Chain A
Amino acid sequence: MASLKELKGRINSVKSTQKITKAKQMVAAAKLRKAQAAAEAARPYADRLATVMASLAGRIAGQDNAPMLLRGTGNAQRHLLVVANSDKGLAGAFNSNIVRAALTKARELEKAGKTVEFYLVGRKGRPVIRRAYPNAIGQMFDTTDVREPGYAEAERIANELIDMYAAGRFDVAHLFFSRFKSALTQVPTTQQIIPVPAPETPVAESGAVVDYEPGEEEILEELLPRYLKTQIFGALLENQASEQGASMTAMDNATRNAGDLINKLTIQYNRSRQAAITTELIEIIAGAEAL
């Protein structure tokens, strides 16, 4: 049986842990609200762009002179897996879920005889992926010095990817991130980003002929990188909301567990104290009777 002093020490240490998890939970809740608002605000642009893309891509897809980003390189041998993680932990299974989805896909592709390369965004996924595929990590995008990955980061990632694609480093790119459903559920998602899949928004043909300036191809040429950036930006935003959601849930559980532990320890502490008092009393009474 632990001594009273030891028990008291443990209770105090669990109490301070609980304070930390509770604080982190509240921070996550506040950040979640912000992240959700940001995701909401990014929607109009993404929607508009998808509509325009759909109508243009539908016209040009299938033609031989379609831009390479839309048409693909012609084969599907080398795959690039873009894995978006966070830089911080304390978010439950958020990062490991994304990494697991990426690794599953990587194994699948390898089984099919394809080559796999990773492009990692964020710090958390690195050790796990490095252990599984020590030689397949091509590039890492560091987000440790930015507080919240925003459009500037998405832009840089997209540009790097486009450069790599233009240099013929890969044929197909997949993006792994966590889609935000609610604070309780985040779904690890895989999305093909290069070649750009044509959005599936139904094209509302108004019947009127649209004038393009300069031309359809030129606009599409400029549109594709932008569309890619928006896709990555959207994924980063979803990821952020998911991270905060997962963090909130994990910290809520941790706080509750700490509470349970404190109750258990307190009962143990009180029992030990009671036992000590009883023993003392018995000793006094026995001493008095002996006189």
Chain B
Amino acid sequence: MLHFELVTPAKLVRSESVHMVVVPGTEGEFGVLEGHAPFMSTIRDGAVQVYRTAGGAPELIEVRGGFAEVGDNGLTVLAEHVEG
């Protein structure tokens, strides 16, 4: 499972284990699964798609401004604003 964290300046929005997350990067969307190589990208305004299970329907979280980081401890999305 992939450890996924969504953080805004005001609070830690999500911290959970999920199957896959699709992030709207500035240079195109990218999906992150467990074991992804270290990677960092800025993100554009859009929806982060969280797939809890393989083949399940994604949960959409609107984010604005920020960047995503993939490291040894999973994916961290730092967003300035999160809707909802």
A42 engages B10 (CB within 8 Å): yes
Residues of B within 8 A of A52 (CB): 40, 67, 69, 78
Binding site secondary structure of chain A: helix
Residues of B within 8 A of A38 (CB): 10
Given A48-B78, A218-B42, are A206 and B71 neighbors across the interface (CB < 8 Å)?
A: yes
Q: Is A126 an interface residue (CB 8 A)?
A: no
Which residues of A35-54 are within 8 A (CB) of B? 38, 41-42, 44-46, 48-49, 52
Residues of B within 8 A of A211 (CB): 37-40
Instruction: Provide the bound-state CA to CA distance between A38 and B8, in Å.
Output: 12
Residues of B within 8 A of A45 (CB): 7-10, 12, 78
B40 engages A233 (CB within 8 Å): no
Q: How many A-B residue pairs have CB under 8 A?
A: 75
Closest Cβ of chain B: how far from A251's Cβ, in Å? 28
Contact of B9 among A209, A213, A214, A229 (CB under 8 A): A229
Q: Is A85 an interface residue (CB 8 A)?
A: no
Contact of B42 among A49, A151, A209, A222 (CB under 8 A): A222
Residue of B at shortest CB range from A222?
B42
Given A223-B67, A230-B9, are A208 and B38 neighbors across the interface (CB < 8 Å)?
A: yes
A151 engages B10 (CB within 8 Å): yes
Q: Is A219 an interface residue (CB 8 A)?
A: yes
Closest Cβ of chain B: how far from A58's Cβ, in Å? 14
Q: Residue-by-residue, is B21-35 near A (CB-CB < 8 Å gives 1, otherwise 0)?
A: 000011100000000
Residues of A within 8 A of B26 (CB): 213-214
Q: What are 10 residue pairs bridging A and B, where the CB atoms are less than 8 Å apart in the complex?
A: A42-B9, A44-B12, A45-B7, A46-B9, A52-B78, A154-B9, A211-B38, A213-B26, A213-B39, A213-B40
**Residues of A in contact with B (beta carbons under 8 Å apart):** 38, 41-42, 44-46, 48-49, 52, 150-151, 154-155, 206, 208-214, 218-219, 222-223, 226, 229-230, 233
9 further contact pairs, Cβ within 8 A, besides A45-B9, A154-B9, A211-B40 = A41-B10, A42-B10, A48-B76, A151-B80, A208-B38, A211-B38, A219-B41, A222-B67, A223-B67
